[in-house]
């Protein structure tokens, strides 16, 4: 029998020192940000050498599959739409509606 997932996943957007937005998902966003910051750590290759980072947006999504779908949807947005999303700071339900993701 498969073990039920006991944690929820979060979508986050990190702003680099150049102002770029990086989109990711994590169970523990603060731990993941620390991994991105740590030289030679387990952070994303794209972020290496682009710190310091600022958490621009974070939203609790739910299970891993849904978080992956939302991450994919956000990564497909252009910079202007991502910036508008950060400013609006939508909750999970609004974000799903904005990305046209059905549960």
Give 46-55 pLDDT, tens digit per residue: 999 898 999 9
pLDDT-based confidence at residue 102 (cuts at 50, 70, 90): confident
Structural domain boundaries in the chain: 9-98
Output the pLDDT for position 36.
Answer: 93
Closest CA to 16 of 49, 63, 39, 41: 49
Which CATH number is 9-98's, of 3.90.1150.10, 2.40.30.10, 3.40.50.10140, 3.40.1440.10?
3.40.1440.10
State yes or no: pLDDT of 61 exceeds 80. yes
User: What is the spatial distance between Cα 37 and Cα 80, in angstroms, rounded to a whole number?
Assistant: 25
Contact yes or no for 60/7 (Cβ under 8 A)? no
Side-chain-side CA neighbours of 25 within 13 Å: the count stands at 20
């Amino acid at each position: 029998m498969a073990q039920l997932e006991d944690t929820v996943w979060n979508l986050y957007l990190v702003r680099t020192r150049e102002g770029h937005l990086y989109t990711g998902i994590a169970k523990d966003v603060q731990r993941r940000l620390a991994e991105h910051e740590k030289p030679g750590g387990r952070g994303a290759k794209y972020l290496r050498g682009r710190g310091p980072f600022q958490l621009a947006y974070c939203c609790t999504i739910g299970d891993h599959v849904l978080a992956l779908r939302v991450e994919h949807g956000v990564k497909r947005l252009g910079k202007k739409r991502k910036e508008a999303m950060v400013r609006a700071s939508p909750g999970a339900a609004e974000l799903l509606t904005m990305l046209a993701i059905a549960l």
